[in-house]
Structure 1
């Protein structure tokens, strides 16, 4: 159960997380949290170790290294046998949510939301770049991760991306492999500071099936997309292998969204999502 309330400790309003559980080793059902929105440090008064071997304070400290702000919600939960901490942080008009594996505090999933407000454009730009810089960075040497430009080199989609670049001067926003009425095609989306471009290329010969230009002046979104170009991710080939093993099937369609760092695959009746930074399967829908 998750509670939100103001805490008065020793007559002073404090920013705290309170773990309402007894004993030195607890399960998800035994966890009860109270949080308060207030600037300053966040502490856990009863720093009880969970059954996974980590403490709430360790999880909070890790989350605050990823994003500066005030912790507003914390949960210790379980999904398909995996225990994790779900931590929400606010900073002005930005909300950051991160899920940390309770065993080793590795990032399972993270999400950054912003409220658009023209009065805060300059601050948004600064925070956006900072948030991109603080995202988890995987080692190319130890995990086989590579920059975006190399992630598709072993797949024909690399040729589709190159063909799109020949028609439009922009950076990659999204690429997918899809089917419509028996026709397979690549859809490539590019963007620059003024426009978004989308083209559908027939998979067998890369002939243009459809293309579209759209005006776009979302400078904040473009900066985030620019930052994502240099992030280390697993290759499409690696992601395909991971997804196919997860449900033991053949991939029908796939999609990669650059600044979401997520591969999505359709395999039979399943949709498998793979974290492009960690290489972990983060969701399977049927």
Structure 2
């Protein structure tokens, strides 16, 4: 009987010690989890804006959540010197995923005036509108010409090599 009591006491002591150890480990793990999650809290629009402005310093026009190259990102539209640039900021890594100023420098090889001359060789008249536009990383000049007959011709011209991508004639 004494052995039985001694065994029950020993068993109860082991269970109590195990419970204390488990609680201590659980508390320590919880503290680490809370610290890690506070470091990886969701990126805010204001933080994304701040990161994007390190790439293109201008006025933020709009900010939206988007997918860029398979990554969840904020698309930050920034106006600088009369042009709009889209900077994508990865929500998880908090890094800018692109540099639209560098992309533009690499892809725009002809000037707006050269693009207008290319269009005017196809259709004589007066340029009434001309602008550089970017769509999905491709730069084109959109040129509108008013002909002497009153018709309008619209051209999309590659900013990289000056080839005519599209021509429309409206009468």
TM-score (norm 2): 0.41
Considering fraction of residues, name the structure with more helix. Answer: 2
TM-score (norm 1): 0.26
